[in-house]
Amino acid sequence: MRLSRYFLPVAKETPSEAQIVSHQLMLRAGLIKQQQAGVYVWLPFGLKVLRNIEKIVREEQDRSGALELLMPTMQSADLWRESGRYDDYGAEMLRIKDRHERDMLFGPTAEEVVTDVVRTYIRSYKDLPLNLYNIQWKFRDEVRPRFGVMRGREFLMKDAYSFDIDADSAVDAYRKMFLAYLRTFQRLGLRGVPMRAATGPIGGDLSHEFIILAKNGESAVFYDSVYEDKDWTTTDISFENDDASKSARKAMVDEVLAAYAATDEMHEEEQFLANVPEDRRREGRGIEVGHIFFFGDKYSKPMNAKVMGKDGKEHVLQMGSYGIGVSRLVGAVIEASHDEHGIIWPTEIAPFNLGIVNLKSGDTACDELCKKIYDLATAKGLDPLYDDRDERAGAKFATMDVIGVPKQVVIGPRGVANGIVEVKNRKTQEKTEMKIEDFLKSIE
């Protein structure tokens, strides 16, 4: 992309309406524009990041065996009356009437819709286990939308729903998701710490929140330092349904959960102190990026979702649901990875992976070399961002840093004359000179 043709409204000043650094940087670096309280326009650059995160979330869901579908944002109140949640959900649910005065709602979650799909088509234990997910916009009329996309009213969520014949296999579905979550957050350059959670309005028996440790997190957290050190995903876990895979998954999840973590909402500090050796006790703040639940027949029973079992009898389906805040993750990643110059994207989600800074646009030699690098990088499948604007060098450097392009190559008249370019690492701010030929080879 040539910056002169891109739409990237970078601001020099820190916007005053934003209280936390991720929100400030998302506004400054031109990722989002607020449209109304808790509702945002995703500008081209922000959308690129959102899509990159969505892609990783999708790949790990697919890998775990879950199947993607797409459910509507607009749902009928009647389905929610069947489960009994229409009246219970409260003011966070946006209720709407159509022209026939029928009650509708903008989905805050989709247990009812997916249960209705499954009860329509699934008749036998042979069709199970089944896990269906979608990545779709949700609306919750939060009392206090704040921190930009971290607590929005409209937000993008990945929500998966598992259906099983009995509690045993449902718990195994839960473990599959648990491991898929660890891997997802790891690929995003984040450490997702699972904490046993209160189940809230979705309800149920077994539940974990995945928390990203970050200075500006909404909740205080207490955790065992092993969560800082261990890479939980180096062990390759199989998502097959055979007994060997099941017991391997159980062992792996048990190992993760043997370390201890709690949030202040649970008032478990005292238990925490008792459980973790003194030198491993850590206190911090965290952002909830995922939440998983096993809730048995909470929805399937009132909605009459049953299948025929091996025993020739009908069984009410056992369900779980699994959310990831995809749009919240954009803020969480920035919260966890930035410096005084701006955003530092983890490699897998960086929207552009090579920045090309032309120090003297209009100078034939500089223009030609920049174009050569740009064309080569594009041909090699890199996603380069070429700053070809007629701007001061300082402004160009600041732009590349605030939007967080991981690797930047700087081309100026003196360097070109000497056959040299400067290559900068965004994260370390290290600059190294390279021969033009060597740099071109490195792209090859």
Q: How far is the CB of 304 from ligand ATP (least distance, A)?
A: 24
Site size toward ligand ATP (CB under 6 A) is: 17
Q: Does 217 bind ligand ATP (CB under 6 A)?
A: no
Shortest CA distance to 10 belongs to which of 366, 424, 346, 391? 391
Q: Does 323 bind ligand ATP (CB under 6 A)?
A: yes
Q: Which does 106 bind (CB under 5 to 8 A by kind): Mg ion, ligand ATP, none?
A: none
Touching ligand ATP, residues 276-295 (CB under 6 A): 288-291
Q: Please identify, using beta-carbon distances, which residue of 60 and 388 lies nearer to ligand ATP.
A: 60
Mutual orientation of helices 167-187 and 44-63 as an angle, nearest 10°? 140
Q: How far is the CB of 236 from ligand ATP (least distance, A)?
A: 26
Instruction: Kindly state the helix (H) or strand (E) to which residue 395 belongs, with its residue range.
Output: helix 393-403
Strands 67-68 and 130-139: parallel
Binding residue for ligand ATP, selected from 23, 28, 85, 140, defined by CB under 6 A: 140
Give the CA distances from residue 287 to residues 323, 340, 412, in Å, rounded to whole numbers and listed in that order.
Answer: 14, 21, 43
Q: Please identify, using beta-carbon distances, which residue of 176 and 291 lies nearer to Mg ion.
A: 291
Q: Output the CA torsion sign for 140, 107, 201, 157.
A: negative
Q: Which does 323 bind (CB under 5 to 8 A by kind): Mg ion, ligand ATP, none?
A: ligand ATP
Binding residue for ligand ATP, selected from 59, 82, 103, 142, defined by CB under 6 A: 142
Give strand pairing partners of 158. Answer: 135, 324
Q: How far is the CB of 139 from ligand ATP (least distance, A)?
A: 9
Q: Please identify, using beta-carbon distances, which residue of 172 and 288 lies nearer to ligand ATP.
A: 288
Burial 425-436, CB ≥16 within 10 A → b, else e:
ebeeeeeeebeb
**Interface residue list for Mg ion (CB under 5 A):** 291
Distance, in Å, from the CA atom of 433 to the CA atom of 444, rounded to the nearest integer, reads 18
Contact segment (CB under 6 A) with ligand ATP among 48-56, 228-236, 319-327, 388-396 equals: 319-327
Q: Does 200 bind ligand ATP (CB under 6 A)?
A: yes
Q: Does 152 bind ligand ATP (CB under 6 A)?
A: yes
Q: Does 325 bind ligand ATP (CB under 6 A)?
A: yes
Touching ligand ATP, residues 54-113 (CB under 6 A): 109
Helix, strand, or coil (residue 385): strand
Distance, in Å, from the CA atom of 319 to the CA atom of 338, rounded to the nearest integer, reads 39
**Closest-approach residue to Mg ion (CB):** 291
SS3 readout for 40-93: EEECHHHHHHHHHHHHHHHHHHHHCCCEECCCCCEEEHHHHHHHCHHHHCHHHC
Distance, C-alpha 384 to centroid of its chain: 24
Q: Please identify, using beta-carbon distances, which residue of 262 and 354 lies nearer to ligand ATP.
A: 262
Q: Please identify, using beta-carbon distances, which residue of 198 and 417 lies nearer to Mg ion.
A: 198
Binding positions for ligand ATP, rule: CB under 6 A: 109, 140, 142, 151-152, 155, 157, 200, 202, 288-291, 323, 325, 327-328
